[in-house]
């Protein structure tokens, strides 16, 4: 859990913004957690793409 997870989970960051933050913070998070965040973002983006009219 990191600032990206916290802000993303409460809706303060959009997937695109969270990706940018991830790019900046990747080294601080460590490879393992960076991958967890990436997975979370992929799922969120996939869900968003399934919404009709979005």
Quote the CA–CA distance of 23 and 47 in Å, as a whole number: 22
Phi-psi region of 6 (alpha: psi -120 to 50; beta: other; left: phi over 0): alpha
Nearer to Zn ion, 30 or 47 (CB): 30
* Residue 18 C-beta: closest distance to Zn ion, Å: 10
Q: C-alpha 38: how far from its chain's center?
A: 6
Residue 2: CB minimum distance to Zn ion, A = 3
Q: Which residue ranges make up the site for Zn ion (CB under 5 A)?
A: 1-2, 5
Task: Select 7 or 50, whichever has its Cβ closest to Zn ion.
Answer: 7
């Amino acid at each position: 859990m990191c600032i990206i997870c916290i802000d993303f989970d409460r809706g303060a960051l959009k997937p695109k913004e969270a990706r940018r933050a991830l790019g900046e913070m990747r080294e601080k998070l460590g490879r393992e957690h960076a991958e967890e965040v990436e997975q979370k973002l992929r799922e969120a983006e996939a869900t968003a793409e399934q919404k009709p009219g979005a």
